[in-house]
Amino acid sequence: MDCRRVLRALPAILTLLVGLCGFVQANPLAQFRTTFGTIEVELLRDQRPETVANFVHYVESGRYQGTFFHRLQPNFLLAGGCYIGADRRSTNAAYLPVTQYKSITNETKRGGVLTNYFGTLALGQVSNGSNRLGSEFFFSLSDASAPFFTQNQGGYPVFGRIRSGLEIIQKLNTFQALRQVRLATNVLISIFDPNLPEYLYGTSQFPVLRFDPTFDIPDQLENLVYLDITLLNVSVARLPTGTQIGWDSVAGRTNVVEFTRTFPPVWETLSRVKGTGARMAVNDPSVESRRFHRVRVEY
């Protein structure tokens, strides 16, 4: 089976089921905005609840603000969530580590087998073999790397899968190591800074949008591949006059609220609105008890 083809065919959807069995909350959707576009990732809360809660905690607390991809090994992994670019455009510009919360236990063996195939999102370990997880996350860039992530150091738990934006991962996967000191764009460089991990020293794994041998720290910080991470949370509330569906809309895109009365579902449109980036809500006046809703974003 071609994992890339399967992942690419999946729509960016958040579904909330409300019916005779009560309220069931769907998996949240995370948006990774980059220079090249937005990556939509379904967070697998139903299978990795503690890992997803840990990631959501970092997002909602703002500790990922200013984070960037700090490690890129083509056809292997693309990692972020460890460092931030602080005081950009100033003389105090610096690489700083993300402030850590208490580490969590590895959930690799919980909730069924989830393999680190291309396009999956996993959490890194605080240190190799520690079986403790912190803020670092990574996307797998190849199906071939899956056995390494699954079998080594107790495993690296998959907690998300890309629903939209695989072409962005593919774009980053084309970055090549800088072979000579010269002006270049979309390259991997070696970088020597005491605030960055030693495993980057002497290796070309640090992705930059533009390289110039004259760059100082502020210039370097401006050319990193930054991430703006947000969550698309959906809620459903029963009202005496029907149901209210609320969600964090995606700006500039058509946000579609749909419903179905049957399973397997046959979805009907309740509302189509252009997202503003703010929280939005629509009311479904139907009082049918067996009625299910979802929110999807058109790309």
Q: Within this chain, do residues 34 and 144 fall inside the same structural domain, yes or no?
A: yes
Q: Within this chain, do residues 3 and 81 fall inside the same structural domain, yes or no?
A: no
Q: Write phi, then psi, for 267 (nearest 5 degrees).
A: -80, 135
Residue 287 belongs to domain with CATH number: 2.60.40
In the listed set 229, 264, 289, which residue is the last one of a domain according to the structure? 229
With cut-offs at 50, 70 and 90, classify the pLDDT of residue 149: confident
Residue 163 or 186, more confident: 186
What phi-psi label fits residue 55: left (phi over 0), alpha (psi between -120 and 50 degrees) or beta? alpha
Q: Within this chain, do residues 212 and 101 fall inside the same structural domain, yes or no?
A: yes
CA distances (Å), 237 to each of 83, 242, 282, in order?
A: 38, 9, 11
With cut-offs at 50, 70 and 90, classify the pLDDT of residue 130: low
In the listed set 214, 229, 244, which residue is the last one of a domain according to the structure? 229
Residue 129 belongs to domain with CATH number: 2.40.100.10
CB 16 within 8 A of CB 25: yes
Q: Within this chain, do residues 151 and 97 fall inside the same structural domain, yes or no?
A: yes
pLDDT digits (tens, 9 = 90+) for 75-103: 999 999 999 998 888 888 888 999 999 99
Summary mean pLDDT of the chain: 83
In the listed set 174, 195, 229, which residue is the last one of a domain according to the structure? 229
Supply the pLDDT for residue 202.
Answer: 65
Look at residues 200, 198, 227, 217 and name the one whose alpha carbon lies nearest to residue 84. 227
> Of the ranges 88-92, 197-201, 250-254, 269-273, which is most confident?
269-273
Domain containing 96 equals 29-229
Burial of 265 (0-12, 13-18, 19+ CB in 10 A): middle
